[in-house]
Structure 1
Amino acid sequence: MHGGDYDAFEEVIIRFFENLRDCDIHPYVVLDGGADHTDKKWDTLRKRKQEKIKAAFALSAGKRAKVLPILIKNVFRQLLHKLKVPLIQCLEEADWEIAALAKEWNCPVLSNDSDFYVFNLTAGFLPITHFRWKNVKVNRRTNKKFIQAKHFTVGKFCESFRMNPELLPILATILGNDYVKLQNIKSLGWEKYSVPDTEHAQIHGLLNWLSQFPEPDAAVSALLKLTRNKEKPLVQEALSKGIQEYKLISGYLAQFFHSKTIPRTASTGPLQVLPKWTLRLLLEGKMSSSIIDALVHQRVSLTIQVEDFQLPCSSETSRPIRQVIYGLLLLGEQHTADKLELAIKTFTGRSKHYVEEYGRQQSKLSSQKVEAIKTRVMEGLQLETLWKEPHNVRLQVLLDTLCVSSEILREIQPALQLQLFVTCYWLVNAQPPPSQVHLWGLLLGMVYGQFSSTPQTQRDMLLKIKKLQTGRRRISLEHETAHLYSQWQSCLKWSLGLNRLLYFPVSEPEVARLYRGKLVHQVVEELRRGITLPSLLVKGSSTERLFKQLKDAVVCLVGEDFIKKMRTGLKHRAARKTQRDYCGQNPPIDELSSCFEQLMCEDIDDCEDDDDDDDLNGKRRKSKAKDHKTENPDVSYTIRTRHKAKARNADHPSKKYNRRCFE
Structure 2
Amino acid sequence: MGVRGLKTYIENRNRNDLRSWAFRDKLLIIDGCNLYYTLYFDCNLDQMHGGDYDAFEELITQFFKNLRACDIDPYVVLDGGADHTDKKLDTIRERKQDKINAAFALSVGKKVKVLPILIKSVFRQLLHKLKVPLVQCLEEADWEIAALAEEWNCPVLSNDSDFYIFNLKAGFLPITHFQWQNVKVDRQTNKKYIQAKHFTVKQFCASFNMNTDLLPVFASILGNDYVKLQNIRCLTWAENSQNGIQHDHIDGLLNWLSPFPGPEEAVSALLTRIDDKEKAITQEALSKGIQEYKLFPGSLAKFFHSKTIPHTTCTGLLQVLPQCTLRLLLEGKMSSIIIDAVVHRRVFMVSQVEDFQLPCSSETSRPIRQVIYGLLLLGEQQTADIKTFTGTSKCYVEEYCRQQLKLSSQNVEAIQTEGLQLKTLLKEPPSVRLQVLLDTLGVSSEMLRGIQPALHLQMLVTYYWLVNAQPQPSQMHLWGLLLGMVHGKFSSTPQGQRDMLLRPKKLQTARRRFDLEHETAHLYSQWQSCLNCSLNLNSLLCFPVSEPEVASLYCGTLVHHVVRELRRGITLDSLLVRGSSAERLFNQLKGVVVSLVGEDFIKKMRTGLEYRAAGQTQRDYNGQNQPVDELSSGFEHLMYEDINDSEDDYDFNAKGRKSKGKDHKNEIPDVSYTIRTRHKTKARNANHPSKKYERSCFE
* Alignment partner of 2:679 out of 613, 619, 643: 643
Q: 1:582 to 1:53 in 2, by over 3 A?
A: farther
Calculate the aligned-residue CA RMSD, in Å: 2.4
3-state DSSP of counterpart to 1:146: strand
Report if aligned partners of 2:627, 2:633 keep a CA contact under 8 Å in 1.
Answer: no
- CA shift for structure 1 position 458: 7.1
Letter in 2 for 1:316: E
Letter in 1 for 2:437: L
3-state DSSP of counterpart to 2:502: helix
Map of 2:406 onto structure 1: 364
Map of 1:620 onto structure 2: none
Report if aligned partners of 2:113, 2:645 keep a CA contact under 8 Å in 1.
Answer: no
1:501 counterpart = 2:501 = no
Report if aligned partners of 2:491, 2:497 keep a CA contact under 8 Å in 1.
Answer: no
Map of 1:188 onto structure 2: 235
* Alignment partner of 2:576 out of 516, 529, 537: 537
Map of 1:346 onto structure 2: 389
Map of 2:638 onto structure 1: 592
* Alignment partner of 1:66 out of 107, 113, 119: 113
Map of 2:425 onto structure 1: 386
3-state DSSP of counterpart to 2:374: helix
1:176 counterpart = 2:223 = yes
Report if aligned partners of 2:113, 2:646 keep a CA contact under 8 Å in 1.
Answer: no
3-state DSSP of counterpart to 2:596: helix
CA offsets 1:402-423 (integer angstroms, 9 cap, x no match): 0001111122100001000000
- CA shift for structure 1 position 661: 6.9
Distance 2:278 2:455 in 1: 61
3-state DSSP of counterpart to 1:238: helix
List gaps (5 residues or longer) in structure 2: 1-47, 656-672
- CA shift for structure 1 position 586: 4.4
- CA shift for structure 1 position 651: 3.0
Distance 1:289 1:135 in 2: 34
- CA shift for structure 1 position 660: 7.0
* Alignment partner of 1:84 out of 127, 131, 144: 131
Letter in 1 for 2:689: P
Distance 1:538 1:423 in 2: 24
Distance 1:457 1:650 in 2: 47
- CA shift for structure 1 position 129: 1.1
3-state DSSP of counterpart to 1:285: coil
Per the normalisation by structure 2, the TM-score is 0.86
Distance 1:607 1:583 in 2: 37
Map of 1:557 onto structure 2: 596
- CA shift for structure 1 position 44: 1.0
Map of 1:420 onto structure 2: 459
Report if aligned partners of 2:98, 2:646 keep a CA contact under 8 Å in 1.
Answer: no
- CA shift for structure 1 position 592: 3.0
- CA shift for structure 1 position 144: 1.5
1:408 counterpart = 2:447 = yes
Q: 1:653 to 1:281 in 2, by over 3 A?
A: same
Letter in 2 for 1:296: V
Map of 2:56 onto structure 1: 9
Report if aligned partners of 2:238, 2:251 keep a CA contact under 8 Å in 1.
Answer: yes
- CA shift for structure 1 position 303: 0.5
3-state DSSP of counterpart to 1:644: coil
Q: 1:457 to 1:443 in 2, by over 3 A?
A: closer
Q: 1:251 to 1:508 in 2, by over 3 A?
A: same
Letter in 2 for 1:593: M
Report if aligned partners of 1:437, 1:524 keep a CA contact under 8 Å in 2.
Answer: yes
3-state DSSP of counterpart to 2:465: helix
Per the normalisation by structure 1, the TM-score is 0.90
Distance 1:217 1:471 in 2: 61
Distance 2:169 2:583 in 1: 57
1:462 counterpart = 2:462 = no
Q: 1:82 to 1:601 in 2, by over 3 A?
A: closer
Report if aligned partners of 1:174, 1:183 keep a CA contact under 8 Å in 2.
Answer: no
Report if aligned partners of 2:470, 2:679 keep a CA contact under 8 Å in 1.
Answer: yes
Distance 2:496 2:57 in 1: 22
* Alignment partner of 2:280 out of 230, 233, 244: 233
Instruction: Write out aligned runs for 1:70-219 (5 A).
Output: 70-195=117-242, 197-219=244-266
Map of 1:626 onto structure 2: none
* Alignment partner of 1:547 out of 567, 586, 599: 586
Map of 1:443 onto structure 2: 482
Which structure has the highest helix share of the two? 1
Distance 2:573 2:300 in 1: 53
Single out whichever of 274-283 and 393-402 deviates more from structure 2: 274-283
- CA shift for structure 1 position 268: 6.0
Map of 2:323 onto structure 1: 276
CA offsets 1:271-291 (integer angstroms, 9 cap, x no match): 333331111000000011111
Map of 1:303 onto structure 2: 350
CA offsets 1:180-219 (integer angstroms, 9 cap, x no match): 1122223311111111523211111111111111011111
Q: 1:188 to 1:89 in 2, by over 3 A?
A: same
Map of 2:8 onto structure 1: none
Map of 2:4 onto structure 1: none
Map of 2:561 onto structure 1: 522
Letter in 1 for 2:421: Q
Distance 1:30 1:582 in 2: 46
3-state DSSP of counterpart to 2:73: coil
- How many percent of aligned residue pairs carry the same amino acid? 73
3-state DSSP of counterpart to 1:149: strand
Q: 1:301 to 1:155 in 2, by over 3 A?
A: same
Letter in 1 for 2:402: R
Letter in 1 for 2:578: K
Letter in 2 for 1:641: T
3-state DSSP of counterpart to 2:135: strand
Map of 1:613 onto structure 2: none
CA offsets 1:571-603 (integer angstroms, 9 cap, x no match): 452112233649985476355321x52426999
Map of 2:668 onto structure 1: none
Distance 2:225 2:237 in 1: 21
3-state DSSP of counterpart to 1:161: coil
Map of 1:633 onto structure 2: none
Distance 2:152 2:174 in 1: 19
Distance 2:632 2:694 in 1: 34
Q: 1:127 to 1:608 in 2, by over 3 A?
A: closer
Report if aligned partners of 1:529, 1:572 keep a CA contact under 8 Å in 2.
Answer: no
Report if aligned partners of 1:363, 1:589 keep a CA contact under 8 Å in 2.
Answer: no
Map of 1:243 onto structure 2: 290
Report if aligned partners of 2:453, 2:546 keep a CA contact under 8 Å in 1.
Answer: yes
Q: 1:473 to 1:198 in 2, by over 3 A?
A: closer
Instruction: Write out aligned runs for 1:564-583 (5 A).
Output: 564-573=603-612, 574-575=615-616, 576-579=618-621, 581=627
Q: 1:327 to 1:267 in 2, by over 3 A?
A: same
Instruction: Write out aligned runs for 1:9-48 (5 A).
Output: 9-48=56-95
Q: 1:351 to 1:591 in 2, by over 3 A?
A: farther
- CA shift for structure 1 position 316: 0.3
Map of 2:11 onto structure 1: none
List gaps (5 residues or longer) in structure 1: 611-635
Distance 1:267 1:522 in 2: 45
Map of 1:654 onto structure 2: 690
3-state DSSP of counterpart to 1:597: coil
